[in-house]
């Protein structure tokens, strides 16, 4: 089973994302802070990381830099989730090595499609058949 790390401060969204990602055949490890998230990423080496940019834009930049600086996490795809992701922030994060960004609120089909488009090598199951398009 593939592993995903979810760094999200909102416990309700964390629970919903966990349930959604489990449907996509991921084992989920979650936390609400970036320090623990970095430690878990290094220890577990998940196939995918989701980071809540609403924790802090500065932390988002820092955590991405930290992920890319560690040999064990340098190539793990990172998708940022946040309320105020402007085009400039989106491009900035992509330039720093993010795999994608998605604004809140979002629907899970939209998140799934982003994951499928950006990360075809993960061979995600097609949840659009299960959930309707």
Is the CATH number 3.40.50.2300 carried by domain 2-131? Answer: yes
Under the banding of pLDDT at 50, 70 and 90, the label for residue 90 is confident
Give yes or no for residue 123 having a pLDDT over 70.
Answer: no
Task: State the SS3 of the chain.
Answer: CEEEEEECCCHHHHHHHHHHHHHCCEEEEEECCHHHHHHHHHHHCCCEEEEEHHHCHHHHHHHHHHHHHCCCCCCCCEEEEECCCCHHHHHHHHHHCCCEEEECCCCHHHHHHHHHHHCHHHCCCCHHHHHCC
pTM: 0.82
């Amino acid at each position: 089973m593939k592993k995903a790390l979810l760094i999200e401060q909102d416990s309700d969204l964390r629970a919903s994302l966990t349930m959604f990602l489990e449907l996509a055949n991921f084992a989920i490890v979650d936390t609400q802070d970036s320090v623990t998230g970095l430690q878990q990423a290094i220890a577990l080496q998940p196939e995918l990381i989701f980071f809540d940019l609403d924790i802090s834009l500065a932390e988002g930049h820092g955590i991405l830099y930290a992920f890319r600086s560690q040999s064990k996490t340098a190539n793990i795809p990172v998708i940022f989730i946040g309320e105020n992701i402007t085009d400039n922030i989106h491009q900035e994060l992509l330039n720093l090595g993010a795999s994608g960004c998605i604004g809140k609120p979002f629907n899970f089909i939209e998140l799934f499609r982003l994951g499928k488009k950006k990360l075809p090598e993960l061979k995600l199951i097609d949840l659009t058949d299960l959930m309707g398009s």
